[in-house]
Amino acid sequence: MLDSGVPLDNITYSTLITAARRCRQFAKAVEWFERMYSPSPDGTGAPAVLPDEVTYSAVLDVYAQLGMKEEVLALFDRARGSGWKPDHVAFAVLAKMFGEAGDYDGIQLVFREMREVGVRPNIFVYNALLEALGKTGKPGLARSLFEEMVAEGVEPNARTLTALAKIYGRARWGRDALQLWDQMRAKKVPADSILCNTLLSMCADVGLVAEAEQLFGEMKDPELEDVPKPDKWSYTAMINIYGSIKDADRALQLFVEMLEAGIEANIMSYTIVIQCLGKANRIRDAVEVLEAGLERGLRPDDRLCGCLLSVVALSTGEETELVLACLEKFNPNLVKLVRTLGDAQATLDEIKEELKAVLNGADSEVRRPYCNCLIDICHNHGLPPQRAGQLFRLAQGYGLYSKLHIRKDDEWLLDLRSLSIGAAKTAFDDWMSTLLDRAAQGQPLPQSFNVFTGSSTHKFAQGLATAFAAHLEEMAVPFRPSESQVGSFVSSRDELVPWLQTRSSSPVAVAG
């Protein structure tokens, strides 16, 4: 057409842009749009061809796919200024873009623009908005939007319920999750694998064991053709539930059932089963599951290595050696570090170099959990008494335990929520040591102190508060549970100063 001098009209440009978008050749789509919007040769400065609603929607999606947020907004404003009325596709594109960016204000903009142009959301827009709200952490607004959707007569589909299940699961909204469950059952919404697996994961998040077992049983029922059959993700979700309630027998039974059904377990399944068996003190069974996995071609990742470290912390004697022997096959540096920590003759520099090698070889998201487990091993296995503190301070130097301390004018707070029991005790003891140093140097102390261990209402949660309370009692340190905040322990300067004075030869200064 170009060689023949045939001018390209709007339909041609829109077709080329849409085709490039569907082929994910976004750069080509942008190139054609810019050519379309370039000034015409008549000298008026007007575009060669004016885009229509199809073109605008397609190019908005292209810009969004490329992460060109500013270009999206500029084009949207320019198109609106030319009299364009955005359609459902355009609003769905905007909602998805703002959601992936976690931009709550942007999602509010979508709502305002839709009301202004009088566009009633359809199922595609509602789904895009719900998925976006899930990424911005706004479960209340998501619930309101879902209720509005139902009131408007828009029937939810599997994608709608999948988005809501994810939101409610993350927010630990058990009551809303149950209501969603009942609505799904009443409306007989066709379920796909993604929806069912998401619902099973939601049940794991909020502790709905019976509901998960009901759905999983229906998925296994050969007579129910409208329910997808369980896959590895379905089994993994159920194993996670049994692991969370410390039912090692059912977790292992389901794991074996999955393998016998010809469904290859993923690494998450292995990790959950091994963790569950370790907590049940069935160390040999955990080792057998791991060795069987290695024979089947399992390639352990950093998370599984962290799981094995936690099993080491829970084991004793010969069983500890069994786990370490397995771990050494694919992470010898980690085992070397564990053994060095137990060597009373090892220097701090040796430990530092080996810890650095382990952390450099691990993903950033597992580095703190590694240190948590290593500190637990120091406590549980009676390693040289200085080791836990040395590890904690080294990890602090690497930035792994940052943001534990919050200092205000009249209050100091220690946040232990992300730590294991052993690491939390070590962090608290280190904090007390800091206060002792300040006392010895005559530096002032704040009016109040607060230690926050957190307390989840989730019935599967492994709370830290009980173990920490026992540690406080053992140390006879004057912290007490807060009356206003569950999972918080408080002390005043007047209570703590006398305790510090018994451990310091220097006078304790009092801020005034």
Q: Is residue 487 part of a domain?
A: yes
Domain boundary among 351, 380, 402: 402
Domain boundary among 402, 437, 454: 402
480 and 412 in a common domain? yes
More confident of the two residues 353 and 457: 353
- Helix crossing, 10-22 with 26-37: angle to 10°? 160
Given a cut of 90, whether residue 56 has pLDDT beyond it is no
Q: Is residue 220 part of a domain?
A: no
More confident of the two residues 133 and 408: 408
Q: Is residue 134 part of a domain?
A: no
409 and 390 in a common domain? no
Per-residue pLDDT tens digits for 192-235 = 888 888 888 888 877 888 888 988 998 999 888 778 899 999 99
Domain boundary among 335, 369, 402: 402
Residues 6 or more apart from 36 whose CB is under 8 A from it?
8, 10, 13, 17, 47, 48, 49, 51, 55
Local confidence band at 47 (pLDDT 50, 70, 90 cut-offs)? low
Order of strands across the sheet that contains 480-481: 405-407, 411-415, 448-452, 488-492, 480-481
Given a cut of 80, whether residue 402 has pLDDT beyond it is yes
Q: Is residue 255 part of a domain?
A: no
Q: Is residue 460 part of a domain?
A: yes
Q: Is residue 412 part of a domain?
A: yes
Q: Is residue 483 part of a domain?
A: yes
In this prediction, residues 425-452 reach a mean pLDDT of 89
At residue 284, what is the residue type?
R
493 and 410 in a common domain? yes
What does the pLDDT read at residue 40? Answer: 53
In this prediction, residues 169-190 reach a mean pLDDT of 76
Local confidence band at 45 (pLDDT 50, 70, 90 cut-offs)? very low
418 and 382 in a common domain? no
Task: Return the structure tokens found at 366.
Answer: 């597992």
**Residue 125: helix, strand or coil by DSSP?**
helix
324 and 383 in a common domain? yes
CA atoms within 13 A on the CB side of 197: 12
Q: How long a stretch of residues is the chain?
A: 512
Per-residue pLDDT tens digits for 8-25 = 777 887 788 778 878 888
379 and 315 in a common domain? yes
Q: How far apart are CA 263 and CA 231, in angstroms?
A: 7
Per-residue pLDDT tens digits for 92-121 = 778 778 777 767 777 777 778 888 888 777
| Structural domains of the chain, count | 2
412 and 395 in a common domain? no
395 and 327 in a common domain? yes
For residue 385, what are the domain limits?
A: 309-402
Q: Is residue 334 part of a domain?
A: yes
Residues 6 or more apart from 31 whose CB is under 8 A from it?
none
Local confidence band at 396 (pLDDT 50, 70, 90 cut-offs)? very high
Local confidence band at 123 (pLDDT 50, 70, 90 cut-offs)? confident
In this prediction, residues 238-261 reach a mean pLDDT of 91
378 and 424 in a common domain? no
426 and 392 in a common domain? no
CATH of the domain at 484: 3.30.1370.110
394 and 358 in a common domain? yes
449 and 383 in a common domain? no
